[in-house]
Amino acid sequence: MNNYPNVFVHGLNGWGGNEGINGLIPYWGATTGDLIKYLHSEGYECYSASVGPVSSVWDRVCELYAQLTGTTVDYGVLHSRKFNHKRFGREYDAPLVPGFGEKDSSGNIKKINLIGHSFGGTTVRLFAYLLTYGWPEEVEAAGDSASGLFTGGKEYLINSVTTICTPHNSSSIYKFVTKTKLFEILLNISALYCGALGRSPINGKLVDFHLEQFGLSNTPGSKDADKYIEAVRNFLENSDDTCEYDMMPAVTDEFNKRLKICPDIYYFSYSFDSTFKDKITGKRWPIVTSNPVIAPLGIIMTQQKEFTNEITGQVYDEEWRPNDLLCNTISQKYPFTEPHIDYNPYKSPEKGIWNVMPVQQGDHGTAIGLLASKSKTRAMYSNLMAIISGLN
């Protein structure tokens, strides 16, 4: 048994617990109520981190590390140079988790359990990799000033990693997004939207865009954003440094080839399916209770004809039809490049391998309590907390 704190990391366009919007509708729990507060009431120490809602996985990980350690965000010498943005971001006065990484009275290190939803899962996965193996190129470029995030050898700080509805192997919806130019449209809208609201009084109060490295938003409490048009142009010219880009198949494929699992960390994954197979036609459709806003995307994924990605060679066949309306269920289970095993509730989980939980019914939002059953949502997370608190 352990009593390690649990750190929750939101996905694309999400928010953390310290943002004003979380008081209106909590990201974790959504329409079922504040899940973090509920888990606190159940005796679990939980925290909701806040990272860039549209930022790349790299930038998000750098921000998460600074939050957890109470230091200044360091995006790295090579990375910031490559994408033409500032190397350093905001400074955190205190760690998000008090005592994180320190020894208790018994001499035990205060580790954390990381839980990520959607792109938040990609974030915690890279975070665990960097703490374990580091990034030698950044250390070589920065020398003695290199962030502790890039030096590696810190796997002892993490007890477990859990991903929920995470597109480990991208999503077949990319074909529709690419063909309709939806990627470019959404990117332009994001740049204009974040640039406008990111320099308004609500940034840092209601929401937090974490885009001061591009000069696109103010650092909360300051007015340090660059000129609006110049900042928008710079952000769009470096669109490879965004979450939308990171989720494309070719990028995800390279990401998976670079990363590897840590043998000293427990890994769990939850996948969701919001479709059913029509017995008459043999085709899949979203279930009746699916979120109507994103159901059309689910229909596209269920009705796509089999095709092959020209770059990665991935074949999107019948196995890829079940989905949560945004991401294919098969892609959520585990990265294809890493070992996995089906979770067995009667055996102790293994380290260094993905313990794949049974597929849950529901869509991408159901997983965090959006338009979902309060009892089922809380039961799932209570069960997760029981599992990871029971790890040795």
By DSSP bridging, strand 354-356 and strand 360-361 are: unpaired
CA atoms in the 13 A half-sphere facing the CB of 321: 18
* Catalytic site residue from 74, 208, 226, 324: 324
B/e letters for 73-100, b = 16+ CB within 10 Å, e = fewer, are: bbbbbbbbeebebebebbebeebbbeeb
Is residue 268 classed as helix, strand or coil in its secondary structure? strand
**Mean pLDDT on 164-169:** 98
* Catalytic site residue from 79, 168, 210, 364: 364
29-53 pLDDT per residue, tens? 999 999 999 999 999 999 999 999 9
86-142 pLDDT per residue, tens? 999 999 999 999 999 999 888 899 999 999 999 999 999 999 999 999 999 999 999
B/e letters for 24-51, b = 16+ CB within 10 Å, e = fewer, are: eebbbbbebebbbebbeeeebbbbbbbb
- The answer as to whether 1 is a domain residue is no
- The answer as to whether 392 is a domain residue is no
Number of structural domains (the chain) is: 1
302-326 pLDDT per residue, tens? 999 999 999 999 999 999 999 999 9
Per-residue H/E/C for 78-147: HHHHHCCCCCEEEECCCCCCCCCCCECCCCCECCEEEEEECHHHHHHHHHHHHHHHCCHHHHHHHHHHCC
pLDDT band at 25 (very low <50, low <70, confident <90, very high): very high
- The answer as to whether 329 is a domain residue is yes
363 catalytic per annotation: no
324 catalytic per annotation: yes
pLDDT of residue 134: 98
- The answer as to whether 276 is a domain residue is yes
* Catalytic site residue from 55, 56, 80, 118: 118
- The answer as to whether 49 is a domain residue is yes
215: domain CATH number is 3.40.50.1820
pLDDT band at 260 (very low <50, low <70, confident <90, very high): very high
- The answer as to whether 72 is a domain residue is yes
Q: How far apart are CA 101 and CA 53, in angstroms?
A: 26
328-377 pLDDT per residue, tens? 999 999 999 999 999 999 999 999 999 999 999 999 999 999 999 999 99
224 catalytic per annotation: no
Range of 92's domain? 6-387
- The answer as to whether 75 is a domain residue is yes
For every residue of 295-315, DSSP letters joined together read HHHHHHHHHPPPEE-TTT--E
Q: Is residue 229 pLDDT above 90, yes or no?
A: yes
47: β partners:
7
pLDDT band at 392 (very low <50, low <70, confident <90, very high): confident
